[in-house]
Structure 1
Amino acid sequence: MAFQCQRDCYMQEFVTSVVACSPAELKQEINGKKEIIKGFNVKLQDTILFPEGGGQPDDHGLIGDVPVLRVTRNGAEAVHFVGSVLEVGREVQLKVDWERRFDHMQQHSGQHLITALADSMFGYKTTSWELGRQRSTIELDTPSLKPAQVEALEAAVNEKIRANIPVTVQLLSLDDPALEKVRSRGLPDDPAGPIRIIDIEGVDANMCCGTHVSNLSHLQVIKLLGTEKGKKNKTNLIFLVGFRVLKYVERSYSIERSLVSLLKTGPDDHVDAVDKIQKTVKALQKCNLNLLRDMAVLVAQNFKLNPERGNFFAFHKKEGDNEFMSIIANEIATEETLVFLTVGEEKGPGLFLLAGPSQKVVELGPRVLEMLEGKGAGKNGRFQGKVNSMARRGEVEALLLEHCRSEP
């Protein structure tokens, strides 16, 4: 059985009736956290909302005024997850999120076209594909794809789009001999009823359950962004189709304008300008590092030359690092002096180093770690780590100073 969304991919509204409604739960990621939403699984007499499958995500939309949060396939049935109960037998109007649907149609039909021509032009088979939120990828069974091949493939797919080639749907029975002549990509593991064939006239005939455009001209344009290394001996080809290309160009132009304003140069000079900035930053970082090293030595020497110095030294510097603290500790005779050093924000995250007589460090290190809410470890007279908050640094200093004063 084919759903109405598969018989007419361009239908945006549809009237049907509720067949079943039962309590259910849905796991969703909300603001980066996985949460369980309580709701209802609804089955309809028919649907224009595509249930995920064949590499294509599900549709979103409305049943009446109730948002559909997920659509899955259970055999020959589509299951719609909603947040409100729907009366069984009730007649309802479905509305599909058309922007999302047409985007999926463009990306999916574009994938079929790219896959077909990558095979016919270079003999590279498609082993899988992913329709992503911003970009999509096709996994090709080849270790690499040369830039010239990507350029030729992009030219070929766009030539087919300009040729206004129709895309048709055929429904074949499971025992139809014609199935032997078509590809098997996109066929579910448990097919029910007729097999749906997407036929790009003269280009490709492929089993597929997804929603597609009716003519390649509806793809508008395809942009191949490049390749990435895939799984063992495979290559991922990254692509955009239709409106995604327009959005990509819009974003790129907006970034370009911002860079023109920041770099005070035209787009053709941006790479050189950034390269010069990076070299300047590296030189400044090297200079700053040398200054920090010199400062570390001076800080240690200043303490050592103080005739009133005791057996405890504490120092904090926002811009320091582990090397800065290590130099200070090395310069001070920590066999006799307990040294507590910190770098980072005054009351935010940072680093610390406790150095001194081994027994003291072993005893006090964990307490310092606990007070600063950090993680770390120690050995050979040193205990160091990362901390979440320097807010209690003053308390730690007071604790260490009191401990040193109490020592005979």
Structure 2
Amino acid sequence: MAGQAAVSGRVAPGWEAVRDAFAEGQADDPGAAQLAVHHHGQLVVDLAAAGRRPAEGAPFGPESVGVLMSATKGLVAVCAHLLSQRGVLDLDAPVARYWPEFGVAGKSGTTVADLLTHRAGLPAFSSGGVGVGLPGLYDWDARVAALAAMRPVWEPGSAYLYHALTFGHLVGEVVRRAAGMSVGAFFAAEVAGPLGLDLWIGLPPEEEHRFVPQFSVRPAPSPAQIAGFIEGLGLSPDDGLHAALRASAAELAAVTDGLTTCRGRSAELPGAGGIGNARSLSRLYAALTGPVDGERLLSPLTVDRARAPRNDDVAPPPPLDGGDGSGRTRFGLGFELPRPGLPMLGEGSFGHAGAGGRLGMARPESGLAVGYVCTAMSWEPAAGPDLRWTGWTDAVRAAAQAQG
């Protein structure tokens, strides 16, 4: 039998195989991790593995909180759908209806849905290739003003490509204009507060004592390596998309460094800077698809709209549009959908992963919601999360099927 990591926490009767699979999956992981599962609104798995590398700060357990990376995008999408459900935000409307300054430089027809599906053509805050660094990335007003004035790299709506950081500011500014408060404040007041979640877009100083930092298993790629990789995709150095992708990578590296500081964690960086734990991530997704202690966030109609495929018939911009498309990320309105390499909980699942292996997801048909948060950061997907997820996702699905 393969080795197992030391695991704390609890599982409900019938879910013991999930604990075993989680322990086995974490055996070779130097970092700490949490796994939580809700089934029909009830918390049935709440586990933590301390990892081989001692955690800095407070001892690691189910109450600890850590960086969510791009799993934060799911929190932002929830805000947009909640406002849409209330009739405050039309996801098919032009962004300029809510954010008039945005409707220039070829963006007058860009819709809120284009922002949610990474089709806006604005993958970086800077078009010059160098990227915006710190502390500039903490300046919300300056960043959204730059995005509003920028000309898209491709015609909005005609193609899609992952907006690693700008997604959070683009959708977050629409939320701010529609709701009259920042996306972090809206999430705290309308989502986290009513559900009692330990999830934040901007960590309050009084919660710093619970934070456990992430660390890199391998160094992040250098700017030269990134440039070489982009050129290997067929983009010439003088191509605007080449420059935007270099800038995006530099900005993501800067934000990752910033999240090692109190200032970075307290900032609203809704593309990748959320802080929380697996229990709350799972509880959030459970409340999207059914009642949790009497609270349900989204109606079945809203959930079905959110998880309907939106980019299966749209390719990345040339020359990145080659191949059969089997490895492409699939999106609904703000949420990732199952694909080869990320089967999630089966067809009908929706959620969002984050760099290094973070993951929040749900599948209404099986009543399942899952949160996974970890501290070991790997920039090579094949070297990390797939190996950790495979066993326990299979065990979660099997346990739910047995429970009925």
What TM bracket, shorter-length normalisation?
under 0.3
User: What TM-score results when the alignment is normalised by the length of structure 1?
Assistant: 0.22
Of structures 1 and 2, the larger Rg is shown by 1
> Higher strand share goes to which structure?
1
